[in-house]
Structure 1
Amino acid sequence: MGHAGSALYPIREVSRLTGVNAVTLRAWERRYSLIRPQRTPKGHRLYAREDIQRVERILHWLDRGVPVSQVRDLLDRPDKTEQIAIDEGDWVGQRQQWIAVVEALDVQGLEGLFNQALALYPAEVCLMEIWQPVVKQLEERWHDQLGAAVQRQLLESFLRTRVGTRLYHANQYVHGPLLLLSRLSDEADRLGVLLLALAASAAGYRIQLFDTPAPLGEWTLVMERLGAAALLLTSDRAEGNELMRRHLPRLAGQLKAPLCLAGPVTHIRATELETSVIQPLGDMPVAAIERLRNILD
């Protein structure tokens, strides 16, 4: 609660100042009592400067991988924060729920978990602690699991729809540089490019996501027409030698903006990329976009 006479802010202004959406602010209050705003006679929330500072401290702990259920203890016991061990059990439990609904082909369950995650956490935290680890675990299971193709197709379809909707709405109010994202080849992983698009959008970039890879020779024209700041291509495989050693470097030399690679291909082809004009971003979406920011700055 704020002190009497201090400035008070409505929820939309707190959301603007902190980057935390109103749905999440309300969830932190109702479910975890993390913040306790004042109320107007009509019941509208009003936040003091101290509440905004508390929201920033909540974000600090979430960014360090602390589940929201444990944040209150850390806020209320600042003198003991270094002694409190982060319990990974909460994250493990959430990941297991995701894997269970995918294996059960439960679209309604996926919808519930997706909405719940985004109501409690910033998208970057969802990516680092839930979605990226879930996809990695599923990929390992899918190597020798009956029904893997259907599970993959279900998750791809679900994420393509949800990510597409988020990108559409985010592009309306985000004014950052435009990025073009695509898979490097038709065979490349569809899940990786969707997670990368989410990370880039959450970081404030406008995103044009291509569902089907364009012929390499057309990217130069597309980039110029759209005025894009960078081209990001992803893959989870080695790709062909001709593509990696000749065609991609040639394209990178023709573009007026950076050509970046993301996904496991950056590790598989690390030796070639060390001396290439192509910018490797790694295979962790949030970290990849952070590296991109350093390139574009």
Structure 2
Amino acid sequence: MANYSIKDLEHLSGIKAHTLRIWEQRYGLINPKRTDTNIRYYDQDDLKLVLNVSLLKDNGFKISKIAEMSKKELQEAVVEVSDKTTSFVDQIYGLTLAMIDLDEQRFEKIISSSTLKVGFERTMLNIIYPFLSKIGIMWLTDAVNPAQEHFITNLIRQKVIVAIDGQYETFDEKAKKYMLFLPEGELHELGLLFANYLIRAKGNKVIYLGQNMPFDDLSMVYDTYQPDYLFTILTNNSRAFDPKEYLANLSELFPNTEILVSGSQIIGEDLGLPDNVIEVANPNRILEFISAHQSESVSK
């Protein structure tokens, strides 16, 4: 089971460390453990408690009342709030707890409810994507183990694939064409699936090559499909992979095509990208690009 510092709890819950210490002293809400060397730490149950308290507090519950609740009363209050809330932040908290508890039913309830209320695209942009960013922070603090991360990302992957399958496609002859792929050694395709859904949702055509695509095979697909744009994501931090060199090679291979690129190896790295390579930091930036480059016939 993971151990957390009070700063970890602050980053994951949004509650200041100073406030958490006051709650410890005044209400005995959480009780830190100590290592053999007398260093304070918190466990997974403490993290879940703080996340639940944060959810209730954001929905009008007084901290003094929360501190008086039994474990059962706290859980019942959280379930009641989760059923009623339309707040994206609250739903992200709910997904975090579903991941920690490996609770597929809770995950399904949150995503299905949000999709019914605001649609899958807004659910993806306002809940799923920020939640995945939060998982990234949890990785940095060892707050989530590989099993929990695989559990939740595979559930999300299934949802995105089902949403893509359900898209009703009627393409205009002048619809823009996108070619989506991940480089060799790149296996995390969830972001690419997001892009696939968003591009198709705006009436564009997509050829989806998926993960681990050999560089030498790209030309053959390009020559056959003749895409207007390429899209890839670079997160591979292997020393054997040089993202700047890879993009330079892509740019040289396809000099007359705009290449959209995202991922942790690109965003904020100031690599000095080739002229035809465009950095898109997140799904909203992808949507902005799509809208700006939509063919007139499709946008009407």
Q: Same fold by TM (over 0.5)?
A: yes
Q: Does the CA contact (< 8 Å) of 1:233 and 1:261 recur in 2?
A: yes
Instruction: Give runs of aligned pairs for residues 198-213 of structure 1, distance below 5 A.
Output: 198-213=197-212
Kept in 2, the 8 Å contact 1:188–1:236? The answer is no
Alignment of 1:220 onto 2:219: yes
The answer as to 2:292 corresponding to 1:294 is yes
CA 1:288–1:119 in 2, change beyond 3 Å: closer, same or farther?
A: same
Task: Describe the SS at the equivalent of 2:235.
Answer: coil
Partner Cα distance (2:165, 2:132) in 1 = 23
- Contact 1:181–1:207 under 8 Å retained in 2: yes
Give yes or no for contact 1:103–1:151 (8 Å, CA) kept in 2.
yes
Residues in 2 aligned to 1:235 and 1:155: alpha-carbon distance in whole angstroms: 21
The within-5 A match list for 1:199-278 is 199-236=198-235, 243-255=242-254, 256-273=256-273, 275-278=274-277
C-alpha contact 2:183 2:234 (8 A) present in aligned 1: yes
Once the two structures are TM-superposed, the CA of residue 172 in structure 1 deviates from its matched residue by: 3.6
**Larger CA Rg, structure 1 vs 2:** 2
Seen in structure 2, the aligned counterparts of structure 1 residues 164 and 236 have a Cα distance that, compared at 3 Å, is same
Tell me the residue number matched to 1:131.
128
CA distance in 2, matches of 1:295, 1:172: 19
Structure 1 residues 296 and 222: alpha-carbon distance in aligned structure 2, compared to 1, 3 A threshold:
farther
CA shift, 1:137, in A, is 1.0
Paired position in structure 1 for 2:52:
none
Identify which of 96, 99, 115 aligns with 1:99: 96
Q: TM-score, normalised by structure 2?
A: 0.59
Gaps of 5+ in 1: 1-87
Once the two structures are superposed, residues 93-140 of structure 1 have per-residue CA deviations (whole angstroms, 9 ceiling, x without a partner) of: 111111111222222322222222211113442233211211111111
How many angstroms does 1:174 deviate by? Answer: 5.1
What amino acid does structure 2 have at the position aligned with 1:287?
Answer: R
Helix, strand or coil at the partner of 2:194? helix
Q: Give, in whole Å, the separation in 2 of the partners of 1:252 and 1:119.
A: 42
Long gaps (5+) in structure 2: 1-84, 296-300
Q: In the aligned structure 1, how far is the partner of 2:248 from the partner of 2:267?
A: 17
Distance 1:197 1:221, change over 3 A: same
SS in 1 for 2:260: strand
- Residues 160-201 of structure 1 show CA distances to partners (whole Å, capped at 9, x for unaligned) of 222222223326445543322233453464332233333323
Distance in 1, Cα, partners of 2:241 & 2:139? 29
Q: Distance in 2 between matches of 1:253 and 1:120?
A: 45
Identity %: 14
Is 1:197–1:209's contact at 8 Å kept on the other side of the alignment? Answer: yes
Contact conserved, 1:179 with 1:228, CA < 8 A, in 2? yes
In structure 2, do the counterparts of structure 1 residues 180 and 104 end up closer, same or farther at CA, with 3 Å as the change threshold? farther
> Is residue 253–residue 277 contact of structure 1 (8 Å, CA) maintained in 2?
no
Quote the Cα distance in structure 2 between the aligned partners of 1:151 and 1:208. Answer: 31
3-state DSSP of counterpart to 2:102: coil
What is the Cα deviation at residue 231 of structure 1? Answer: 1.4
**CA RMSD between the two structures:** 2.9
Kept in 1, the 8 Å contact 2:170–2:203? The answer is no
1:186 aligns with 2:185: yes
Are the counterparts in 2 of residues 199 and 286 from structure 1 also a CA contact under 8 Å?
no
The 8 Å contact of residues 156 and 190 in structure 1, kept in 2 or not, is answered as no
The number of aligned residues is 208
- How many Å apart are 1:234 and its aligned residue? 0.8
Relative distance call for 1:128 and 1:169 in structure 2 (3 A) is: closer
Contact 1:266 1:281 in 2 (8 A): no
CA distance in 2, matches of 1:124, 1:287: 14
Question: Is this contact kept in 1: 2:182–2:212, CA < 8 A?
Answer: yes
- What corresponds to 1:168 in structure 2? 165
The 1-side partners of 2:156 and 2:228 are apart by 25
Alpha carbons of 1:239 and 1:296: their partners in 2 closer, same or farther (altered >3 Å)? farther
Matched AA of 2:88: W
Aligned pairs (5 A) from 1:48-127 = 90-127=87-124
> TM (normalized to structure 1)?
0.60
- CA–CA separation in structure 2 for the residues paired with 1:98 and 1:179: 31
SS at match of 1:183: coil
Check the 8 A contact 2:184/2:214 in 1, yes or no.
Answer: no
